[in-house]
Structure formats: structure tokens, C-alpha cells
Amino acid sequence: MAPFASTGGLADVAGSLPLALGKLGVEVKIFMPRYRGVKFSRKRLSEKVGIHFVENEAYFNRASLYGNERGDYPDNLERFAFFCRAALESAKGLGFRPDVVHANDWQTAPAPVYLKTLFAGDPFFEKTKTLLTVHNLAYQGHFPHRLFPALGLNEGLFSTEGFEFYGKVNLLKGGLLFADALSTVSPTYAQEMQTREYGWGLEGVIQKRRDKLRGILNGINRALWNPARDRFIAERYSARSPGGKAACKAFLQKDCGFAADPATPVFAMVSRLAEQKGIDILLEAADDFLSKKVNFVLLGEGDGAYATPIQNMKRRHPGKTAAFLEFDIRRAHRIYAGADFFLMPSLFEPCGLGQLISLAYGTLPIVRRTGGLADTITDIDADKKAGSGLVFEERSSADFLSAIDRARAAFGDQTRLASLRQSAMRRDFSWEKSAGEYLKYYREMAGS
């Protein structure tokens, strides 16, 4: 949960959704492991939102959250089984009787199982319902069968109707089968999860429970991502007063070593370096793309195998390409503010935050039609009034390049571009809107 510990989108969701729910009058208690370096001086984040850290020196006082350079920690099943049980026992000890336990991803997928098994006869949780949210189905929590006893469950639950998955334990599968309700982070991804292409072997399980599945879009923290208040950017601006974006672009071009030229479109990518994010499509298209009058800046870290080809791309196109293989939050803000177009050629994208942030900064996204990208971006040529970015269909560099060429054409019409930017900045992807959808779902589950 941001800001205490973060490795991806789930941390942003966990850091924002509870606070938005609290503003709607929901009493929330958050439980997370007290990982190394987590410091806290208060147990209440707002009037309605409290946080509790589960301590265990052996399990959580480690250099990283889930693994190290040698791979995932081999005792992750044991670590998170302990965490789930400790969170439920702690809620009971605090006298906090939840209407809904909202679990996220494989790490907390055992919690709904425990409530239906180990805690089944406990009157304290008699009316408690469970919701399991899947943020990315590719990560499921696979473990050898020999580790199953660490869950503390009846061995009979290691079956095709339980945790068994091709001879291994699959924590997410157990949660999907036992939770009262399921959700994921966009309506389109909720449909994609049920297909072989995107189901990662669990499409049958999800199809079986599709009546209990709902797609609810993530939001963004507008207190953090707001060009009118952003302390990291060269000059603040808004949809009503957009002039500062030009200064942000000039600053970004200088920071990247480009010529300060307002007539050159700046394309940007802030991303984890992973196959999922379409890095291979980008690299395949790079020489054609960068032969044009463009600037391109990339910020991100991840799979080290991409470092050399990215650096080679930069060397082949000096003066127009910058690559920062790290994650620097200040630079991320400056890129979102200073770029003209934001690239997301993802192979799959459950929700995506980059396109939502770029819209807030008037930076038009170029996205592949998948998952949350399909739900949030309308093509500017397909819909002249509601268009908010450029959308391509195929997992190919040719289709990606076609979208880039259309973006360059849009850049050539500055009057139209200014209108598109203002329209993008007025789109509402706040957490308040998403929290309202979750609250509606909670009430349905709780029968209230």
C-alpha cells in the first residue's frame, strides 16, 4: 500500500480507494504486513480509515517484499497464509466486525477460504461477505504441492475444485472459488479474463463464476496527479489555463538533451520494462518511428534484458532519444507534463494508470485496444467529439506506427490539438467515482 510499500498498481489502489471510501462514510480498517522500512506514527489515516501492520520479523523483515535476485521467496505461501489469518484474528481482537472483507490478488486470496473453512463456525464473522479483486491474472501464487499443509487447511481442498492447478498449489484459484464476489480493474478485462488468450489457465474458473464478477475501473489520485498543483513541474497549468504546458515541454526537452523546439512532437513512455507493456513492439518500430521529426523519452525499470537494446536505440538516434532506466517520481511528473503523446502499446493491460495520468496532464495517449485501455480511451478519429487519444488494434509494430503517424498529423493542427488537450484534462477518472462503484457493490453483497 502506497506510500508505505509499493511494487506496482495495487499499492496505488490500496493507498487511494480506502481514503475515498472513508469520504463516503465507510468505516475501513486496512491490514498489511509491516515490511522492512515501514515507519508509522499513527493508526488512523483519516476519520474513517485506520491501518494496522502485521509484524513478524522472520517473514516480513526482508530486503524486498516478494523475492530477491534469485527469484521469489520459497516460503511466500507460508508468509501470506500467516498474514491472512493474522489479519482476520486481529479484526476480531479489535472488535471490528466487517460487513465485507476486501482481499486483493494471490497474496490475500486465502482470506476468503479461511472465512468459509477455519472461521466458518465463528459467530463473529457470521454475516461477513468477501470480495476478491484481481489486479493482474498473470500473477497467481503457484507453489509446490508439498507446501500445501502450511495453509492449515484440509488436504481435501487440494483438488480440481480447490487449490490444485496442474499438480501445484494455486492461491489465486482458491480465492476465486471461495470468495462471495469477484472484481477486476476494468469492464473489458473482466471479459478478457474469461478467454484462453488472457485467462492464464484460469479462464474456466472465471467463466464458472462470471455471474459474481464485476469490472470496476481504477481511478487516479488527483491530489498527486494534477498539473494545476504539481510541485515537480516547470510551470503549473490546467484545462482552463493551459499555457504552462509549453514551458513544461521546453523544460523536458532540455532535461533530455533535445533541442528546445516547440514544433517537434515529444512522445513519452513511463513504464515497467516488461513484455506485457509492449516493449518489444516499441523496439521493433523504433528505427522507423525515430527517423521522423520526433523526440522520444522513456523512463522505467524492470527486465534487464531490455537495457542493451534500449541503449542501442538511443545510440542510433542521438539528440532525439532519451532513456532513463530507473524510476524517478519527479521525472515521471515532468514527462507527463511535458510530452505531447504518451505511448502504451501493451499486449494486455488490466486497467492501466499511465493513460489516466497522461489525460490529466493533457498528454494524449496512444494505446492498444485491450483491457482498461479500451474502456478509457476513445480514438480521436473515430469520435471527433469524445476522442481522447489514439487507439490501435493489432499486436504489431505496423499498427503501432500507423497510430504514431496519425498522432503526428494531429500535432500538425495546433488548434485541434489544443481542443483535444482541454477535453482530455476534463475527463473524470478520480477515485471518488470508482469508490462509489465499490460501495454500491459492497451494499449488494451485504444485502443492505
Domains 9-219+432-446 and 244-428 share a fold: yes
> How distant is the alpha carbon of residue 48 from its chain centre?
25
Q: How far apart are CA 403 and CA 399, in angstroms?
A: 6
Over residues 55-62, the mean pLDDT reads 96
Give strand ranges (E) for 88-153: 100-104, 129-134, 142-144
Residue 296 corresponds to which amino acid? F
What percent of the chain shows pLDDT beyond 90? 90
Would you state the pLDDT for residue 12?
A: 87
Would you state the pLDDT for residue 146?
A: 97
The model's pLDDT over 132-167, given as tens digits with 9 standing for 90+, comes to: 999 999 999 999 999 999 999 999 999 999 999 999
Structure confidence at residue 43 as a pLDDT band (50, 70, 90)? confident
The model's pLDDT over 268-313, given as tens digits with 9 standing for 90+, comes to: 999 989 999 999 999 999 999 999 999 999 999 888 899 999 999 9
The model's pLDDT over 77-119, given as tens digits with 9 standing for 90+, comes to: 999 999 999 999 999 999 999 999 999 999 999 999 999 999 9
20, pLDDT greater than 90: yes
Over residues 58-66, the mean pLDDT reads 95
What element of type H or E holds 321?
strand 321-324
Q: Which string of DSSP letters, residue by residue, matches 169-207?
A: EEHHHHHHHH-SEEEES-HHHHHHTTSHHHHTT-HHHHH
Would you state the pLDDT for residue 248?
A: 98
Would you state the pLDDT for residue 1?
A: 92
Output b/e per residue, 90-127; b: 16+ Cβ within 10 A: ebeeeeeebebbbbbbbbbbbbbbbbebbbeeeeebee
Find out if CATH 3.40.50.2000 is the number for domain 244-428: yes
Q: How far apart are CA 74 and CA 63, in angstroms?
A: 15
323, pLDDT greater than 90: yes
Would you state the pLDDT for residue 70?
A: 86
Q: Which string of DSSP letters, residue by residue, matches 330-353?
A: HHHHHHHHH-SEEEE--S--SS-S
Q: How far apart are CA 295 and CA 341, in angstroms?
A: 10
> What is the residue-averaged pLDDT of the chain?
95
Would you state the pLDDT for residue 356?
A: 96
What sign has the CA pseudo-torsion 207, 210, 213, 219?
positive
40, pLDDT greater than 80: no
- 48, 170, 321, 403 from 412: Cα distances, Å: 50, 51, 21, 14
Q: How far apart are CA 336 and CA 409, in angstroms?
A: 21
Structure confidence at residue 414 as a pLDDT band (50, 70, 90)? very high
Q: 322, 304, 377: which is closest to 346 by C-alpha?
A: 377
Structure confidence at residue 9 as a pLDDT band (50, 70, 90)? confident
Structure confidence at residue 53 as a pLDDT band (50, 70, 90)? very high
Assigned superfamily of 9-219+432-446? Glycogen Phosphorylase B; (3.40.50.2000)
Count the residues in the chain: 448
Domain segments of the chain as ranges = 9-219+432-446, 244-428
DSSP state letter for 33: E
441, pLDDT greater than 80: yes
